[in-house]
Amino acid sequence: MPHTLSRPPKTAIVLAAGLGKRMMPITAAMPKPLVKVGGRTLVDFALDRLAEAGIETVVVNVHHFADMLEAHLRTRKMPHIVVSDERSEVLETGGGVKKALGLLGPDPFITFNSDSIWVEGERPNLVRLVEAWDPNAMDILMLVAPRHTSIGYDGRGDFSMDPVGKLRRREPDEDVDFVYAGVAIVKPEMVSDTPDGAFSANVFYNRAIASGRLHGLRLDGQWLHVGEPRAIAEAEECLAARMR
């Protein structure tokens, strides 16, 4: 149910500045966000989902083949896009979010990995995530996908989730049921006092875990992990099957 006392996020950042090393050799000629799956670029999957969920302003950070990515972004009308320029330094996921804080505003915002795609279930997952957001109980709310049904993923999982949705990180020798699906709602105070420079978003995820305020929402539908070139065909097959 929607939390009427909380203001739904209206801004987001699409993390699009990575080098895409695991997607080589494709990313030797283009940024990973412009790789196409089923005829659509990965970054357009993200931007379309955000627009559908009512997000008004989306920051997109750029580094690898930045000019090419910016040219593509200029072809879009919705949502309103602001570029966070990281040409001079690779800041990783956490550093990229921190650099963009001034563009994201003072309220909770959505972070969206540019290679996160999925097939929807009965209702749009981003809408479900916004409705489930409860700032009184949460500092971060992640979209998480069941490990066993995710396409293109063969890891041991990232998190376990208790009956009220609290997440616990996987221990080194453990298999767990859920994988981070690349999308989260984050309070800016989780980010604002972190060190400058490059660091992983795990810094603020771990902060939320330590205070018992990292929660998850189970993705409804099919998560597609497109991490390597060989995963593209598998994802396209799944997308095509869902459209038949």
pLDDT tens, residue by residue, 157-177: 999 999 999 999 999 999 999
For residue 191, the domain's CATH number is 3.90.550.10
The answer to whether residue 33 scores a pLDDT higher than 80 is yes
pLDDT at 243: 61
The answer to whether residue 115 scores a pLDDT higher than 70 is yes
Instruction: Please compute the mean of the pLDDT values over residues 126-139 and round it to a whole number.
Output: 96
The answer to whether residue 156 scores a pLDDT higher than 60 is yes
pLDDT at 53: 93
Q: What percent of the chain has pLDDT over 90?
A: 85
The answer to whether residue 145 scores a pLDDT higher than 80 is yes
Q: Which of 66-75, 122-131, 178-187, 233-242 has the lowest mean pLDDT?
A: 233-242
| Token pair recorded at residue 161 | 């989730």
Domain tally, the chain: 1
- Residue 176 falls within a domain, yes or no? yes
- Residue 59 falls within a domain, yes or no? yes
Domain hosting residue 164, numbered range:
11-243
How confident is residue 2, by pLDDT bands cut at 50, 70 and 90? very low
pLDDT at 167: 98
How confident is residue 6, by pLDDT bands cut at 50, 70 and 90? low
Average predicted confidence (pLDDT) for the chain: 93
Residue 215 has φ and ψ, to the nearest 5°, of -120, 160
The answer to whether residue 191 scores a pLDDT higher than 90 is yes
pLDDT at 227: 84
- Residue 2 falls within a domain, yes or no? no
- Residue 38's Cβ-count burial label (10 Å; 0-12, 13-18, 19+) is middle
- Residue 39 falls within a domain, yes or no? yes
pLDDT at 3: 40
- Residue 135 falls within a domain, yes or no? yes
- Residue 4 falls within a domain, yes or no? no
Cβ neighbors of 139 (< 8 A, separation 6 or more) are 186, 187, 189, 190, 207, 208, 211, 213, 214
Q: What percent of the chain has pLDDT over 70?
A: 96
The answer to whether residue 117 scores a pLDDT higher than 80 is yes
- Residue 72 falls within a domain, yes or no? yes
The answer to whether residue 72 scores a pLDDT higher than 90 is yes
- Residue 36 falls within a domain, yes or no? yes
